[in-house]
Amino acid sequence: MSAYDERRKKLYEWMVNERIAMVMFEDTEGRRDPAIRWMTGQPSDALLFLSAEGKSLLVPWDANMAAVYAQADVVIPYGEFERRSVKALQGAAALFKIPLGSRVEIPPVTSYTNFLKYVGDAGEYDILCRNSGTHGEAESLRAIKDEEEQEIYRKAGGITNEIIDLLENNITAGRIPTEIDVVLFIEAECRKRGCEGTGFETLAAGAGRSFGIHAFPAYTAEPFAGPGLSILDFGLKYRGYTTDVTLSFAKAPLSPAQEKMLSLTEKAYEKALSMVKDGVYTREISLAADAIFGKARKAMPHALGHGIGLEAHEAPYLRSRQDNTWQLRPGMVFTLEPGLYDPVHGGCRLENDILLTESGPELLTKARIIRF
Amino acid sequence: MSAYDERRKKLYEWMVNERIAMVMFEDTEGRRDPAIRWMTGQPSDALLFLSAEGKSLLVPWDANMAAVYAQADVVIPYGEFERRSVKALQGAAALFKIPLGSRVEIPPVTSYTNFLKYVGDAGEYDILCRNSGTHGEAESLRAIKDEEEQEIYRKAGGITNEIIDLLENNITAGRIPTEIDVVLFIEAECRKRGCEGTGFETLAAGAGRSFGIHAFPAYTAEPFAGPGLSILDFGLKYRGYTTDVTLSFAKAPLSPAQEKMLSLTEKAYEKALSMVKDGVYTREISLAADAIFGKARKAMPHALGHGIGLEAHEAPYLRSRQDNTWQLRPGMVFTLEPGLYDPVHGGCRLENDILLTESGPELLTKARIIRF
């Protein structure tokens, strides 16, 4: 039984318990859902239907790609349904012999306007659109990486660390002088090592631009790592899974305010890492990091961290909002990324990827603040 | 009056006519809407509220970025609303003194599940969520590029053409041997020329991989432009606006089947271009291209083209579906991109960007099929 089969099997069981006869997943521009890749291997652009009786139908935009990558019981190109998701849903229900009136679940991100269309055009089924339904279950299952995924992450982390070392050596020696040089260096080095590419647009913000949480544009032809604080945030995508790290380069001379920002960021990071264990509420970790900044009358303008996987941001989430009820569990892979930003002094962030195992946190990556 | 002011003014007028007291735009991960950049200059990650009385409130995630880029009457960071869109909506309504019970419009892509929250938590207003509301009007307005945008596109097209020429010279001479070399060459050359970057992930598919509409991965360390058909699909982002072109490289020896695919693609392209004029229905153009392929018992597995602008795919759409009612109008900028794909022979596509002016089509880019 392949990993894809095992992942689908968990959802079939959940569907039976919840009396869901069929579920539709959708992965398309504007509504990406890597659950389809997770359950079939199809990299993108498809619908996936699962029946509670344990059958799967993949409806890819590109049948040639599906023939190479995808595993599903049945594959029917989207064109055969006039590229209309409602028609595909009806076709899947006919294929699976879903009884009229059965509960059929569609993605919770379905727009209100599209929801009305499904209910209008496929009213012969009981259409469900819920945050805590089968899609939420898939998201929760994806948050716990299985053994195959954990091995992928150890490999991805190793490649990320090789590149971190190369970056430190070459940047501090002045051999990669501009933001764009840094970004293209990462692109080239990661693909040489078998990565699919970067997991998101690399952010390389030299000292003049590091005040932004997400510098805009993400990189330019300006110098990188001149005097002051520079931020480099990147991730490598390996077999679909992305790492996500941030290095800060702190080139002398630094002002006392800049030194203070760096030491606070490191302190918040160490505090957060020390709290990582099975069962802890991520909100507690996030509040502890906030408290360190708060004592110094500073504030972090973003969340402490987030899960990573087939998406650059996925469950679990590590943030201070009251509605955050996530707890860490063995198998979770997530970032810790405290940072501070100031329009005058610039910004700094330190971000690494952690796999929580049965025996504690395993640091997958070795990003750091590089003073030189 | 800045271009941003003029664009907002058009929407204020529309809102008054439609009796919409306030509208909310949202640009966030998973729900990108460049209408906010179009109306304020804020590059990304914000909410924008407009009142029918002609006032604007921008709610950016990153206040530092907004201070540099954005123009709006009032700017309040998202954090002040606990990073909750419903709270921001209520705050905006209070600021604008929107009477209770007024019509307040939220984005049509709002999920069904979120829609229920707005109606539950902000039930003091009449919450509208419609495809043909203010957001649809903004999309239609954005499809007609104003003079400032047309000048940006002429410049962006010029840079794209410089890079096309460099690519042809260097690739046919064997100086850019692999897919990744091609992609990094484009990244470096476009940023040198002042571009923000590429408009989407460049697709470079050598002869072994060009059968896919969207090759996966988008590029690898494999050779590019070896014997057979290779596809290079890229766009340059200049001041927010993206071009979108596809070159095909056809290196001898070619089979008769490959020659036929190339000549059919060029024929479909020329036919489509000849039909571009004010008032024509884009569906007619698309059906004419389909007919050329159909006569040869082939089929194009994607649409003929699409508008470009702050998004890589936006209105107008050029496709054969019966529900396509788009007509070309002066000021529209769009692609024509016929192509054919075969698991054995590989794929080819020819794509250029056209600005329709009062005096006819203006070819912004000069991509071509390069035989060598």
- The pLDDT tens digits for A40-87 are 999 999 999 999 999 999 999 988 889 989 999 999 999 999 889 999
Residues of B in contact with A313 (CB under 8 A): 29
pLDDT digits (tens, 9 = 90+) for A341-359: 998 999 999 999 999 999 9
Residues of A in contact with B81 (CB under 8 A): none
Of B82, B187, B217, the CB nearest to A184: B187
**Which domains, ranges and CATH numbers included, belong to chain B?**
3-142 (3.40.350.10), 144-371 (3.90.230.10)
Residue A67 φ then ψ, to 5°? -60, -30
**pLDDT at residue B151, as a whole number:** 98
Of B44, B64, B79, the CB nearest to A343: B64
* Burial of A140 per CB tally in 10 Å (0-12, 13-18, 19+): middle
Residues of A in contact with B159 (CB under 8 A): none
Using CA atoms, how far apart are residues A99 and A139, in angstroms rounded to an integer?
27
**pLDDT at residue B29, as a whole number:** 83
* Candidates B111, B237, B286, partner chain A, best to mutate (most A CBs within 10 A): B111
Residues of B in contact with A220 (CB under 8 A): 191
ipTM for this prediction: 0.81
Of B82, B109, B343, the CB nearest to A64: B343
Residue A316's closest CA among A147, A150, A156, A139? A139
For B83, nearest residue in chain A (alpha carbons): A321
Residue B47's closest CA among B112, B94, B91? B91
Contact A184 B180 (CB under 8 A): no
For helices A179-192 and B179-192, what crossing angle results, to 10°? 170
Largest separation between any pair of C-alpha atoms in chain B: 72
Using CA atoms, how far apart are residues A62 and A271, in angstroms rounded to an integer?
47
Whether B215 has a pLDDT exceeding 90, the answer reads no
CA atoms within 13 A on the CB side of A144: 14
Of B45, B113, B196, the CB nearest to A217: B196
The CA distance from B359 to the nearest CA of chain A, in Å, is 34
Spell out a b/e string for A110-129, using b for 16 or more CB atoms within 10 Å of the CB, else e.
bbbbbbeebeeebeebbbeb
Whether omega for the bond prior to residue B301 falls within 30 degrees of 0, making it cis, is no
Pairing mode of beta strands B197-198, B55-60: unpaired
Whether omega for the bond prior to residue B77 falls within 30 degrees of 0, making it cis, is no
Residues of B in contact with A65 (CB under 8 A): 212, 214, 216
Residue A215 φ then ψ, to 5°? -55, 145
Least confident interval from A91-105, A211-225, B76-90, B286-300: A211-225
Residues of A in contact with B211 (CB under 8 A): 64
Q: Which two tokens stand for residue B117?
A: 């929250």
Residues of B in contact with A314 (CB under 8 A): none
The CA distance from A274 to the nearest CA of chain B, in Å, is 28
Q: What is the rounded (10 degree) CA torsion for B326, B329, B332, B337? A: 50
Q: Which two tokens stand for residue A352?
A: 């690494």
**pLDDT at residue B214, as a whole number:** 76
For A44, nearest residue in chain B (alpha carbons): B216
Instruction: Look at the alpha carbons of A208, A212, A214, A216 in this order and tell me if their dihedral is positive or negative.
Output: negative
Whether A237 has a pLDDT exceeding 80, the answer reads yes
pLDDT digits (tens, 9 = 90+) for A161-200: 999 999 999 999 999 999 989 999 999 899 889 998 899 9
Using CA atoms, how far apart are residues A63 and A58, in angstroms rounded to an integer?
10
Contact B212 A64 (CB under 8 A): yes
Report which residue type is found at A196. E
Of B29, B130, B184, the CB nearest to A187: B184
**pLDDT at residue A105, as a whole number:** 98
Q: What is the tally of helices (H) and strands (E) in chain A?
A: 10, 20
Residue B325's closest CA among B355, B357, B280? B280
Of A61, A64, A313, the CB nearest to B29: A313
Using CA atoms, how far apart are residues A13 and A26, in angstroms rounded to an integer?
20
Using CA atoms, how far apart are residues B60 and B77, in angstroms rounded to an integer?
5
The CA distance from B48 to the nearest CA of chain A, in Å, is 19
The CA distance from B342 to the nearest CA of chain A, in Å, is 9
Whether A214 has a pLDDT exceeding 80, the answer reads no
In the A/B pair of chains, how many CB contacts fall below 8 A?
111
Of A30, A192, A214, the CB nearest to B62: A214
pLDDT digits (tens, 9 = 90+) for B159-176: 999 999 999 999 999 999
Q: Which two tokens stand for residue A342?
A: 């100031």
For A196, nearest residue in chain B (alpha carbons): B217
pLDDT digits (tens, 9 = 90+) for A127-158: 999 999 999 999 999 999 999 999 999 999 99
Give the bridge partners for A340, in sequence order: A348
The CA distance from B95 to the nearest CA of chain A, in Å, is 24
Residues of A in contact with B321 (CB under 8 A): 82-83
Give the bridge partners for A56, in sequence order: A50
pLDDT digits (tens, 9 = 90+) for A245-293: 999 999 999 999 999 999 999 999 999 999 999 999 999 999 999 999 9
Contact A211 B64 (CB under 8 A): yes
Residues of B in contact with A341 (CB under 8 A): 64
Contact A131 B115 (CB under 8 A): no
Task: With beta carbons less than 8 A apart as the criterion, state whether B270 and B292 touch.
Answer: no
